[in-house]
């Protein structure tokens, strides 16, 4: 193994076990789900009979359906075709609500001159981000120091010199670790 002095700093990617919900961030859209459940929250929960009234009252500029697949985990999407093939065919999937953006929320996010297509793209991105949160697809990285073991390749006793969490997708965490000068990934 090349020494860490010449190969750069070592890092490992780890799950973020305490991520902040993307629903706490400022967003263009607002989720309106049909009923509260233990799998995902959202901004508002309405019974199926009340959801149409809520949508009308909100006067959305853009409204997209949100679908869910709940089977030993949760994934959501907004287009007709889910990320998981076959997820839209069973009893454990279907439309669970909407994500909506009002003209006011779109104006606050984009300023003047925004298009409906820009708002739709932002809503799709928000659904994708929330889906990653629900699936636990959030990571951090740890920059490792050298431990006392000869020929150490990133064992559990290596000191953590720096760390950062909250990256959506493993690739994002790896890219940021490399941007900080780490060049060698070790498996944890």
The 3-state DSSP composition of the chain as helix, strand, coil percent (nearest 5) reads 30, 30, 40
Q: Which of 34, 108, 44 is nearest to 65 (CA)?
A: 34
Distances (CA, A) of 20 to 9, 16, 24, 40, 187: 28, 9, 7, 14, 25
Question: Model confidence at 6, in pLDDT bands (50, 70, 90)?
Answer: very low
Q: Which of 25, 35, 93, 101 is nearest to 64 (CA)?
A: 101
pLDDT digits (tens, 9 = 90+) for 61-73: 999 998 888 877 7
Q: What confidence score (pLDDT) does residue 88 get?
A: 53
- The residues that bridge with 74 in the sheet, in sequence order, are 70
Listed by start position, the domains of the chain span 4-19+138-185, 22-135
pLDDT digits (tens, 9 = 90+) for 90-141: 667 778 888 999 999 999 999 999 999 999 999 999 999 999 998 999 999 9
Structure tokens at 185: 């990934």
C-alpha–C-alpha distance, residues 166 and 16, integer Å: 6
Question: Model confidence at 1, in pLDDT bands (50, 70, 90)?
Answer: very low
Residue 45, Cβ density class (10 Å: 0-12 exposed, 13-18 middle, ≥19 buried): middle
């Amino acid at each position: 193994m090349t020494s860490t002095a010449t190969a750069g700093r070592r890092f490992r990617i780890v799950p973020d076990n305490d991520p902040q919900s993307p629903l706490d961030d400022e967003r263009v859209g607002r989720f309106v789900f049909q009923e509260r459940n233990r799998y995902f929250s959202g901004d508002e929960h309405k019974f199926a009979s009340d959801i149409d009234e809520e949508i009308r009252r909100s006067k959305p500029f853009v409204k997209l359906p949100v679908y869910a697949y709940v089977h030993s985990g949760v994934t959501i999407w907004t287009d007709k075709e889910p990320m998981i093939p076959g997820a839209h065919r069973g009893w454990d999937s279907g439309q669970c609500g909407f994500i909506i953006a009002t003209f006011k929320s779109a104006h606050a996010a984009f300023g003047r001159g925004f298009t409906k297509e820009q708002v739709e793209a932002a809503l799709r991105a928000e659904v994708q981000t929330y889906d990653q949160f629900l699936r636990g697809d959030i990571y951090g990285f740890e920059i490792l120091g050298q431990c006392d073991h000869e020929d150490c390749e990133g064992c559990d006793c290596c000191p953590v010199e720096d760390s950062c969490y909250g990256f959506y997708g493993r690739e994002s965490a790896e890219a940021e670790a490399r941007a900080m000068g780490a060049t060698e990934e070790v498996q944890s």
